[in-house]
Amino acid sequence: MAGRLKGKIAVVTAAGAGIGRAIAQAFVAEGATVWATDINREALDAVPRAKRVKLDVLSDRQVVRFAEKVGGIDILVNAAGYVHQGTIFETSDKDWDFSFDLNVKSMHRMTKALLPGMLARATAAKSNEAAAGAREDFASRNRTCSIINISSGASSIKGAPNRYVYGATKAAVIGLTKALAVDFIAKGVRANAICPGTVQSPSLDQRIASLAASTGKSEADVRAMFVARQPMGRLGTAEEVAMLAVYLASDESAFTTGAVHMVDGGWTL
């Protein structure tokens, strides 16, 4: 089903690595015009054929300027995030504030800045259909805009050890997503959350190295611990998450909004 996103314009944050990169690459492969953003501009070179832009999603000013440059879009993927390790006792006020700023408020910033253009694009699509006689085919009935927020199984879905503030932020992402979905359900904009389990990524490699250093265990033992908690007996891949994002971005999922989608190898069962 190549070309599932043909004619659509997408923005993906944290597209320089991991899940964000895999989503941006998959969107390009499916025919979308992709604005790939990351705080590390050089990392975006791994997303050829995308419009690559350095963007700090913690900056209100940069986000607003970016939205003005991009204009109307069809798809927004909020993939920027940070995993803090620790219980409440290892969570400083600085850790708390940074985690919520990056994991939750960045989604608020990006969505607030880009949503007007999405609404305008959704309205224009409906107007064009009406002028053309409202053709009764799949494409005309199901043209929508899509917001996809990356949450986590460690959230309101499931508690995870040493994920105190991370779990709180990802639970907030689910609440934010549902609120967006209900507010714009009749205006052509959908919002859904993806909740990955443990996925192989540069971020995971860093966490494994850090945890090994702090506990005195080998990195191999720490990695085995992460694998062992997955009922399927393996880690997920960023590409597996990206395929779900393609579906949610496409008009194939036009009847789906406000939903929480697990891609976790059964971890939250």
Nearest to 148 by CA among 7, 56, 16, 24: 24
Phi first, then psi: give them for residue 30, nearest 5 degrees: -90, 10
Residues labelled catalytic: 166
Strand partners for 34:
10
**C-alpha triplet 54, 83, 266: angle, nearest 5°:** 115
d(CA 15, CA 50): 10
d(CA 85, CA 95): 10
d(CA 39, CA 16): 8
Nearest to 268 by CA among 236, 221, 240: 236
Helix axis angle, 238-249 to 18-29, nearest 10°:
50
